[in-house]
Amino acid sequence: MTLRLSPDPAGLSQAAALLRAGDLVAFPTETVYGLGADARNDTAVAGIYAAKGRPSFNPLIAHVPDLQTARRYVTFNDAAERLAAAFWPGALSLVLPLRAEAGISKLVTAGLPTLAIRVPDHPVGQGLLATFDGPVAAPSANPSGRISPTTADHVFAGLDGRIGAVVDGGACGVGLESTILACDPPTLLRAGGIPAEALEACLGASLAHDLTPQNPQAPGQLASHYAPRGSVRLCVTDPTPEETLLGFGAVDAPLNLSPSGDLIEAAAHLFDMLHQLDAMGARHIAVSPIPDHGLGAAINDRLRRAAAPRAT
């Protein structure tokens, strides 16, 4: 079911066609194999979470072929310019302000105003990005909680039958995920393929470190990023007249995450519909019950954060 594609022009154009069709394609980078999806396509990105069985919507890293392309999606400050010049292509992801018209799915950024972006240093990854000609969102190509894959066979072992294809480019050089750095001020968010010391030498300054799971830039921990302005009540089958219902399944509601009860569709719509509820001025939001399996667990995780008591 999952194709193994060779890293030649024919294989890469087949892989790019699958990405354009919204399918998932694993591909080698110098760090680990990434599970790629078109970063502009909500449904494709939601498919990443489904395939990995990821319990929550962590934001994802966008992959682009070069610095010029990255400028279309994010804005660079001086530190970021220097680091990109020194380390791209390479195992460094920079977290930078998302441009207003970037067109990146909110499922990639988890609704944050920033985007983690990098230029991979691998001929096959580069070949795929050039052939596809668009931004590719890619976490490591393993089921959630399992070890990151550094060969195509590792990817098949974890995800066979759940994704469109694997481009087999042999073993990854780095085998450790990219270093993640927030740029204002330069702050290490994840240790990875490029040592902090090398970044510090480049910047001529020491980095702040923020590696705790509760760090404010690890947005999965923060309720406020997912909370609409109105109050939120969950698991509601009988909304009051004051409440605006965010529906799921066959219910009568002004907004419905998925009338057919499809969890991938619901995940793709979630952040967008929370924004729409704000735009509508909804003061009291009720949400239909959503099954707690598969992507439903991630959707419910975000909705519980949205419904949690807030600091006022």
Query: Interface with ligand TXA includes 217 (CB under 6 A)?
Result: yes
Closest separation in Å from C-beta 121 to ligand TXA:
10
User: Near ligand TXA by CB under 6 A, which window of 11-19, 173-181, 242-250, 284-292?
Assistant: 173-181
- The item of ligand TXA, Mg ion, none sharing an interface with residue 239, based on CB under 5 to 8 Å by kind, is none
Query: Interface with ligand TXA includes 140 (CB under 6 A)?
Result: yes
Residues near Mg ion (CB under 5 A): 140
Closest separation in Å from C-beta 236 to ligand TXA:
31
Among 189, 255, 267, 282, binds ligand TXA (CB under 6 A): 189
Among 59, 90, 97, 239, binds ligand TXA (CB under 6 A): 59
User: Near ligand TXA by CB under 6 A, which window of 28-36, 79-87, 241-249, 288-296?
Assistant: 28-36
Query: Interface with ligand TXA includes 218 (CB under 6 A)?
Result: yes
- The item of ligand TXA, Mg ion, none sharing an interface with residue 218, based on CB under 5 to 8 Å by kind, is ligand TXA
Cβ closer to Mg ion: 138 or 199? 138
* Segment 223 to 252, residues that bind ligand TXA, using CB under 6 A: none
**3-class DSSP string for the chain:** CCEEECCCHHHHHHHHHHHHCCCCEEEECCCCEEEEEECCCHHHHHHHHHHHCCCCCCCCEEECCCHHHHCCCECCCHHHHHHHHHHCCCCEEEEEEECCCCCCCHHHHCCCCEEEEECCCCHHHHHHHHHHCCCEECCECCCCCCCCCCCHHHHHHHHCCCCCEEECCCCCCCCCCCEEEEECCEEEEECCCCCHHHHHHHHCCCCEECCCCCCCCCHHHCCCCCCCCCEEECCCCCCCCCCEEEECCCCCCCEECCCCCCHHHHHHHHHHHHHHHHHHCCCEEEECCCCCCCHHHHHHHHHHHHHCCCCC
Q: Quick check: bond before 89 cis, omega within 30? A: yes
Cβ closer to ligand TXA: 32 or 264? 32
User: Near ligand TXA by CB under 6 A, which window of 55-63, 151-159, 204-212, 271-279?
Assistant: 55-63
**Which residues of the chain form contacts with ligand TXA (CB under 6 A)?**
29, 31-32, 34, 58-61, 93, 95, 109, 112, 114-116, 138-140, 177-178, 180, 189-190, 217-218
